[in-house]
Every structure is written in structure tokens, then in C-alpha cells.
């Protein structure tokens, strides 16, 4: 990860948090790959429920904890965990929203989407953002490994995750898309 201030400058955090429409979420939020807490802090500040922050790197968990303490927030639960290897450990159909930000370029995107679908309640949402392919970006994985919405929809096709039209460019360097868990009946 690059230096924290620089990393945070690569996002329009306020616009992205508004796009999440957190006031419509009544159950806990999960963020897989919290990093520095770039989104954990403003989500926890905006959302009155519990935010579960996951990261595989203990240093990222420590840094996010520092940022949460500095912000005097008390609604974040931390999980130092490899979600690809072990899942989240959260209950089936127990979560209102899952955030998958800049992590779906890996070969494990289907595993991450499957775990997100498993823990989501009916009508819960997955919000994803990723680096755009159509503009030059100062960071991010190789352009070839960056998913686009079609790749994500193909990866989620058997997971009962429905696209309901909430997709947009999130300037300056990202695109975003939300999927809703449907009824598998």
C-alpha cells in the first residue's frame, strides 16, 4: 500500500459513501479489505449500526483501529482474517451490505462474491468499486487484471445476486456497481 494520505487522495470518499445509500441499510455492514480505513471511518460515522472491518494484513487492522479511535467511533468490529481461505465467520443471511472495494481483480473474485452472498440477508446489497480501465490511473493492478461490470456480473451469475441498475463512474479513477441478493426460490 502507498502512503495513507496519498492513497486516500485517490478517491472521492464523500461521493462514494453517499452512493452507498447507507440510510436504507438496517443490518450490519461488512467491509472486506479495510486497508487504512479510508471507507471504514466515514461509513461508521454515517451508519449507526455495526461495521465489520476485515483485512488480511495485521498492520492494516492496527492502522484502521487507530483511525477509528481518533474519530471516537465505537461501532466497528475488527477481523484480522483471510476471507478467501476462511470466509468471514459471520452467520448466513445476517448482513445488510458488503463492501468489496478494489479487491475483485484477484482470481478469487467468485469466492469473495460467494461469501458476500452467503452472509447477505434477502435484499441486502453488495457494493463494489474498482479501478477503471478506460483512463490512466496513478495506482491499481494491471489494466488487464481489472474487472469491469460485465466480468463481475458473469462471476456472480450463479450466486443469486441481481443487478438493479445502480452502476456509475466514481471519479476520478473508479467505477462502482451494486448488486442485490434476490430470492433463490
For 141-168, the pLDDT digits (tens) are 999 999 999 999 999 989 999 998 889 9
pLDDT digit string, tens, across residues 86-112: 999 999 999 999 999 999 987 889 999
Specify the pLDDT at position 2: 82
Cell, residue 171 = 471519479
Sketch out the chain's domains with CATH numbers.
Answer: 4-181 (3.40.50.150)
Taking the C-alpha atoms of residue 76 and residue 79, their distance in angstroms, rounded to an integer, is: 10
> What is residue 1's predicted lDDT score, i.e. its pLDDT?
81
Assessment of whether the complete model's pTM goes beyond 0.85: yes
pLDDT in tens, 45-71: 999 999 999 999 999 999 999 999 999
pLDDT single digits (tens) 106-136 = 788 999 999 999 999 999 999 999 999 999 9
Q: Give the Cα separation of 157 and 95 in Å (integer).
A: 20
Q: What is the pLDDT of residue 132?
A: 94
Per-residue model confidence (pLDDT) at position 184: 62
Q: In angstroms, rounded to a whole number, what is the distance separating the alpha carbons of residues 89 and 82? A: 10
Q: Is the pLDDT of residue 185 over 60?
A: no
Amino acid at each position: 500500500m502507498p502512503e495513507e494520505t496519498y492513497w486516500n487522495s485517490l478517491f472521492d470518499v464523500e461521493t462514494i459513501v453517499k452512493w452507498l445509500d447507507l440510510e436504507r441499510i438496517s443490518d450490519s455492514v461488512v467491509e472486506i479489505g479495510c486497508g487504512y480505513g479510508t471507507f471504514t471511518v466515514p461509513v461508521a460515522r454515517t451508519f449507526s449500526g455495526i461495521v465489520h472491518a476485515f483485512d488480511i494484513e495485521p498492520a492494516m487492522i492496527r492502522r484502521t483501529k487507530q483511525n477509528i479511535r481518533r474519530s471516537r467511533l465505537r461501532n466497528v468490529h475488527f477481523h484480522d482474517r483471510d476471507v478467501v481461505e476462511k470466509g468471514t465467520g459471520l452467520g448466513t443471511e445476517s448482513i445488510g451490505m458488503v463492501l468489496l472495494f478494489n479487491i475483485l481483480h484477484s482470481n478469487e473474485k467468485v469466492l469473495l462474491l460467494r461469501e458476500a452472498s452467503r452472509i447477505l440477508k434477502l435484499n441486502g446489497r453488495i457494493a463494489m468499486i474498482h479501478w477503471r480501465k478506460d483512463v490512466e490511473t496513478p495506482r491499481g493492478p494491471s489494466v488487464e487484471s481489472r474487472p469491469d461490470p460485465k466480468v463481475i456480473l458473469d462471476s456472480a451469475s450463479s450466486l443469486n445476486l441481481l443487478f438493479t441498475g445502480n452502476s456509475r463512474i466514481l471519479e476520478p479513477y473508479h467505477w462502482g456497481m451494486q448488486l442485490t441478493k434476490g430470492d433463490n426460490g
